[in-house]
Structure 1
Amino acid sequence: MRLIFAGTPAVTIPALDAIADSQHELVAVVTRPDAPAGRGRRLVRSPAGAWADERGIEVLTPQRPREPEFQERLRELAPDCVPVVAYGALVPPSALEIPKHGWVNLHFSLLPAWRGAAPVQHAVLHGDEVTGASVFELEAGLDTGPVYGTLTEPIGPHDTSGELLERLATQGAGLLVAVLDAIADGTARAHPQPADGVTLAPKLTVDDARIRWGDPAFGVDRRIRACTPAPGAWTTLRGDRLKLGPVRAVANAAPLKPGELSVERTQVLAGTATTPVVLGEVRAAGKKPMQAVDWARGLRIQAGETFE
């Protein structure tokens, strides 16, 4: 089939590689417009766009997929199908109707669970033990289309959302190509999503990433892992913001008040509503990450100091 791929961040690269190695012809990549990045705020191509540039593949960067010029170019390119991974913009029905076999989206959850922009982060935040990926037909609703196929993936007790997403992106790429192959040979069958079990996964905000030390230890652990690497779990001390990496709960430590710090020879503990947690990496604003013990010694943390 003639394909146009729609996607933006680095998580799309495994799918692009898999499609490039498949029997299908990739004629263009649709991605979000170049965006300012870095200290100089220089315009930077998205990872999906840069991948296409390196291979001499046409890149389309509409501000909105409803633009008539963009849709006219889609018609000119005449794709049979548009596979999608984390494109980042709503596609109107007028664009969905252009490819013969529609737009087929790889989503990183077991639909109808965790519809929305941050399915992996919400799966980790809510303590799910299993997640997966779904390939479904894109329609006007939010991740509501019929599903062609799924795969499952266990969530380990120490998985961050970044680590889990990396695994799902790699495995999901194979699932996406398998669905495209089935569409091409006429054997693909999409099944409506069940009405029960719908949950929503909106993008996590910076406020969502603030650590609630009054939560139980498992809640603190999940929030930090869910927000690693983005948007980055954070707290404050002495009025300054700190980002924290994953922590480890300890069952036999002396109790501490929520957020209270205890600096030991080989570790730094912080109190929660239940048992304390051992801090991992700490990153102060404008500084490189460092181990919590080194951070605490450099800052000369006093007994009884508490995260705010």
Structure 2
Amino acid sequence: MTLRVVFMGTPDFAVPALRAVADAHEVVCVYTQPPRPAGRGKKERPSPVHQAAEALGVPVRHPATLKDPADREAFAALGADVAVVAAYGLILPRPVLDAPRLGCVNIHASLLPRWRGAAPIQRAIMAGDAETGLTIMRMEAGLDTGPMLLSVKTPIGPDTTAGTLHDTLAAMGAPLILEALDGLAAGVLTAVPQPVDGVTYAAKIDKGESRIDWTRPAPDLDRHVRGLSPVPGAFFEHDGERVRVLAATPEDGRAETAPGTVLDDAPRVACADGTALRLDRLQRAGKGPVDGAAFLRGRPLPPGTVLG
């Protein structure tokens, strides 16, 4: 059964799902965040979902909020069977949630109720979770509290970064949302309430927490680096310059050495509990990413240097 769908999303994560839904159903309109200034010229750039929708020939709307009664009426007037939401970026008020015949369903990048909120991919890696996944849920007024329709799991390996996990989950979302829409259309999907136990919240990544705290053990910092790679990127500072660390390896260090001290030309940096973090891939401001050895050729960090 072909459904009339409103698709609501903004970043790259939502694009595979949009394309899949548009191929299988009638997407009557796409809602996305307004164009934002980007690049050196600060020219307004449409979101990835906006660009994908235009390529598909689907009408696009980008209200700054959904608080205006006129915007809510325009949404209801679309006569949608269902709204599919994926990283849209706006809270949906009750009149919008109630407008589609089958409600609004969300593609959330975690295994709910773990990691409700804004940064589930990053938080899962940073916390050392062994697995994560996607949950398709019916949306309600609470933050990612709605009953679950479908879910799928994927492992988090020792080399998984936020970037690689993002791409994996984005690809997994396309077939999963189609399965959910088929089940809703046929009336065979049962929404299951989220468990009361195991609720955690994935707070938005704050700029300040990207700074590497060398007083933490290296395995923690490895997860910190991977959870923030490639953007915004974990960083340290030295001589007033900020350097992003995009890949690192936890190793044994020297218990007597103060955290933050460069140990050798690997380069390895002393961390807590006698551990060390080998800096495998780094990036200076305005430069491209390079491996540790290439970085040191352009920006020496002699053993004994203390990083901030």
- Both proteins in one fold, TM over 0.5: yes
Q: How big is each residue's C-alpha offset from its partner over 1:44-78, in whole Å with a ceiling of 9 and x where there is no partner?
A: 10000110111211001011122223222222211
2:13 to 11, 14, 17: 11
Residue 286 (structure 1) aligns with: 286
Cα distance in 2 between the residues matched to 1:134 and 1:301: 45
**8 Å Cα contact 2:247/2:282 also seen in 1:** no
Residue 191 (structure 1) aligns with: 192
SS of 1:249's partner is: strand
SS of 1:105's partner is: strand
Q: Which letter does structure 2 place at the counterpart of 1:17?
A: R
Report the alpha carbon displacement of residue 19 of structure 1 after superposing the two structures with TM: 0.9
1:214 aligns with 2:215: yes
Residue 70 (structure 1) aligns with: 71
Identity %: 39
Residue 296 (structure 1) aligns with: 296
Cα distance in 2 between the residues matched to 1:3 and 1:67: 22
Report the alpha carbon displacement of residue 227 of structure 1 after superposing the two structures with TM: 0.7
Report the alpha carbon displacement of residue 254 of structure 1 after superposing the two structures with TM: 5.1
Report the alpha carbon displacement of residue 130 of structure 1 after superposing the two structures with TM: 1.0
Q: How big is each residue's C-alpha offset from its partner over 1:111-168, in whole Å with a ceiling of 9 and x where there is no partner?
A: 1100000001100000000111100011110000000011111100110011112111
Report the alpha carbon displacement of residue 297 of structure 1 after superposing the two structures with TM: 2.5
SS of 2:6's partner is: strand
Cα distance in 2 between the residues matched to 1:300 and 1:56: 52
Residue 271 (structure 1) aligns with: 270
SS of 1:207's partner is: helix
Q: Which letter does structure 2 place at the counterpart of 1:91?
A: L
Cα distance in 2 between the residues matched to 1:254 and 1:140: 51
**8 Å Cα contact 2:122/2:162 also seen in 1:** yes
1:143 aligns with 2:144: yes
Cα distance in 1 between the residues matched to 2:295 and 2:230: 20
Cα distance in 1 between the residues matched to 2:114 and 2:303: 44
Structure 1 consecutive aligned stretches of length 4 or more whose deviation exceeds 3 Å: 253-256
SS of 1:48's partner is: helix
Cα distance in 1 between the residues matched to 2:61 and 2:86: 15
Q: Which letter does structure 2 place at the counterpart of 1:295?
A: F
Q: Cα distance 1:75–1:300, how it changes in 2: closer, same or farther (>3 A)?
A: closer
SS of 1:145's partner is: coil
**8 Å Cα contact 1:66/1:94 also seen in 2:** no
Report the alpha carbon displacement of residue 211 of structure 1 after superposing the two structures with TM: 0.8
Q: CA-atom RMSD, angstroms?
A: 1.3
Q: Which letter does structure 1 place at the counterpart of 2:17?
A: A
Cα distance in 2 between the residues matched to 1:123 and 1:283: 24
Cα distance in 2 between the residues matched to 1:288 and 1:231: 15
Count of aligned pairs between the two proteins: 304
Q: Which letter does structure 2 place at the counterpart of 1:205?
A: D
Residue 228 (structure 1) aligns with: 229
Q: How big is each residue's C-alpha offset from its partner over 1:161-202, in whole Å with a ceiling of 9 and x where there is no partner?
A: 111121111112211110111001111110111111100001
Residue 203 (structure 2) aligns with: 202
SS of 2:283's partner is: strand
Q: Which moved more, 1:107-116 or 1:291-300?
A: 291-300
**8 Å Cα contact 2:134/2:151 also seen in 1:** yes
Structure 2 gaps, min length 5 = none
Cα distance in 2 between the residues matched to 1:179 and 1:137: 10
Normalised to the residue count of structure 2, the TM-score between the two structures is: 0.95
Structure 1 gaps, min length 5 = none
Report the alpha carbon displacement of residue 250 of structure 1 after superposing the two structures with TM: 2.3
Report the alpha carbon displacement of residue 21 of structure 1 after superposing the two structures with TM: 2.4
Cα distance in 2 between the residues matched to 1:165 and 1:65: 27
**8 Å Cα contact 2:76/2:96 also seen in 1:** no
Q: How big is each residue's C-alpha offset from its partner over 1:253-280, in whole Å with a ceiling of 9 and x where there is no partner?
A: 555431111343xx21111113212111
Report the alpha carbon displacement of residue 299 of structure 1 after superposing the two structures with TM: 2.2
Report the alpha carbon displacement of residue 32 of structure 1 after superposing the two structures with TM: 0.5
